[in-house]
Structure 1
Amino acid sequence: MGRELLSVVVTTFNNADTLDACLRGVSWADEIVVLDSGSTDATTAIAAHYGARIHTQTFVGYSAQKQAAIDLASHRWVLLLDSDESLDAESAAKLEQALRAPQHAGYQLWRREWQFWRWQSRRSRLNHYVRLFDRQRARMSEHEVHEEVQVDGSMGVLDVVIDHHGEPDISGRVAKANRYSSMQLTDLARREVSWLRLRMVVYPAVAFLRYYALRGHWRSGWAGFIAARIHAFYAFLKYAKLYELQRRRQD
């Protein structure tokens, strides 16, 4: 019995350091679509090496850029990956098996995080995201950051783990927290967020405890502790920046 044809979709911008591993793990797919934002490194050369269909578009935001890439796919079933994510051979086999007779409109996959100098502990909690889906029944959300695939239909979970290489060092993780907290202002400003001063005091501690204790990142030693502290800093920054925006509007 054959399987559904699959398009792997990746958005890129100067991702030569990680793109080879990303595309190597999905080279078995029926199609690879890369939507590039004007890379100046070897990104497009790597994509061409794996036979990808390469398109170029000015970056229009994380969600809109990914939706544009999904719309370029030739096949109904899509596997959406970030350029710093990769799959091993075992995961690829499980995806192929799921595509032989899909039971749902979309599937969540697990993701393992690189934390500065080590992978997160195997006993800590993995996040999961919708990455395999029928594109005729799914669209990207409109969030500026933390965008997600929204599926119109039933959802399944596959025993597939994506390796997320992410930021290689603390400096990169802090820079991302600063950048994302600024971008999230658009989403936060649309809502009526109250008790901002209290949120700045309380929420970072809650975010730290949830990440470090409840998700089990304490098992990753100092790497897990540092990641939790940066996560709490991000929680503080997004509300502090919203408070600053409101004060400036009042003044």
Structure 2
Amino acid sequence: MSGRAPISGVVTTFNNAATLDACLDSLAFCDERIVLDSGSTDATRQIAERHGARIAEHPFEGYGPQKQRAIDMARHDWILLLDADEHLTEAAREIIERELRDPRADGYRLPRQEWLFWKWAHLGTRANWQLRLFRKSRGRMNEVPVHAAPVVDGVRRDLRAPFRHYGEPRLADRVDKVNRYSSGLVVHKHRRGVRGLGARILFQPTLAFLKLYIGKRYFLDGWAGYLAARTQAFYTFLKYAKVLETQRSKDQA
């Protein structure tokens, strides 16, 4: 779109052939598309090549460092950061282009709509807002080991430019991810210390369930919403229970 700031669409990948096509297609309006791969063995690289993306490969060194490396490759200041299992809606592309004609902020949170096992979330379900559009000169990835996210030194705004996240299609995949992610957070949380660990183990899982099922209206999504809220509660339980396990194991050593 004439008159708007140039945009670099940035994606990190590893064996994402099932979803990458939709992701890169939704970024076709960007002035460049960057794909940083960490050794895919499926058709990921071929899909990226077909879309004309600028491709590089680097061994995976963590979510934050990998995304930061991809961001550093960008030629333009404005970064649109997506995961390979996410894609922008048509409405989002139009809103982003309009906003970047005269940007009012240094970073923007966008609403993410979730795939819940076998269906897209109900329109009445509250979206998860994520900071995904930002100035490279004012933003960097944080150092959280699993849920790494951009942080911006400057003005931040919410922009109603929705994007979609194609999450785990099977409950088994979701449970596997919950187990891996909770393990990935143990060292980080143990180093920082967790106050009231026992209370968190007892009560935080229930609060996490209620936050999604009632607060974000996952009850509108039937059994898919219930399962999503329950697995989130299980994740909350595991990440604190594993910290306790680590502490007790070190005490016995």
| TM-score higher than 0.5 | yes
| Equivalent residue letter for 1:46 | I
Name the residue aligned to 1:101: 102
Within a 5 Å distance, the mapping from 1:106-185 to structure 2 comes to 106-185=107-186
How big is the shift at 1:192?
2.1
8 Å CA contact 1:77, 1:134 repeated in 2:
yes
> Whole-Å Cα distance in 1 between the matches of residues 103 and 196 of structure 2?
45
Amino acid of the structure 2 residue aligned with 1:238: K
Alignment of 1:232-247 (within 5 A): 232-247=233-248
1:223 positional shift: 0.5
Q: Within 5 A, what are the aligned runs for 1:166-205?
A: 166-205=167-206
Q: Give the aligned partner of residue 24 of structure 2.
A: 23
How far apart are the structure 2 equivalents of 1:194 and 1:142? Answer: 20
Quote the Cα distance in structure 2 between the aligned partners of 1:65 and 1:246. 29
The 8 Å contact of residues 80 and 132 in structure 1, kept in 2 or not, is answered as: yes
The residue matched to 2:80 in structure 1 has which SS? strand
- Tell me the amino acid that sits aligned with residue 106 of structure 1: G
- Mapping of 1:11-90 within 5 angstroms? 11-90=12-91
Deviation at 1:196, TM superposition (A): 2.2
Residues 144 and 186, structure 1, Cα contact 8 Å, conserved in 2: no
- 1:109 aligned partner, one-letter code: L
Q: Which residue of 2 aligns with 1:206?
A: 207
What is the SS of the residue equivalent to 2:167? coil
TM-score by length of 1: 0.98
Deviations 1:136-162 (A, max 9, x none): 000000000111110010011111111
Q: Unmatched 5+ residue regions in structure 1?
A: none
Please state whether the residue corresponding to 1:226 is helix, strand or coil.
helix
Measured in 1, the distance between the counterparts of 2:188 and 2:212 equals 22
Q: Which moved more, 1:185-194 or 1:98-107?
A: 185-194
Mapped partners of 1:103, 1:161: distance in 2: 18
What is the CA deviation profile of residues 23-82 of structure 1, one whole-angstrom value per residue up to 9, with x for unaligned ones? 011112110000000101100000011110000000010011000100000111110000
AA aligned opposite 1:88: T
User: How far apart are the structure 2 equivalents of 1:81 and 1:203?
Assistant: 29
Please, which moves more after superposition, 137-146 or 185-194?
185-194
Which residue in 2 is equivalent to 1:2?
A: 3
Aligned CA-pair RMSD = 0.9
Q: What is the CA-CA distance between 1:169 and the residue it aligns to?
A: 1.2
User: Where does the alignment leave 5 or more consecutive residues of structure 2 unmatched?
Assistant: none
Structure 1 residue 117 displacement after superposition: 0.8
Contact 2:91–2:162 under 8 Å retained in 1: no
TM-score normalized with structure 2 length: 0.97
The alpha-carbon deviation at position 94 of structure 1 amounts to 1.0
Q: Partner amino acid for 1:243?
A: L
CA distance in 2, matches of 1:55, 1:62: 16
SS of match in other structure, 1:171: helix
1:217 maps to 2:218 = yes
Shift of 1:89: 2.0
What is the DSSP-based 3-state SS (H/G/I as helix, E as strand, rest coil) of the residue aligned with 1:160?
coil
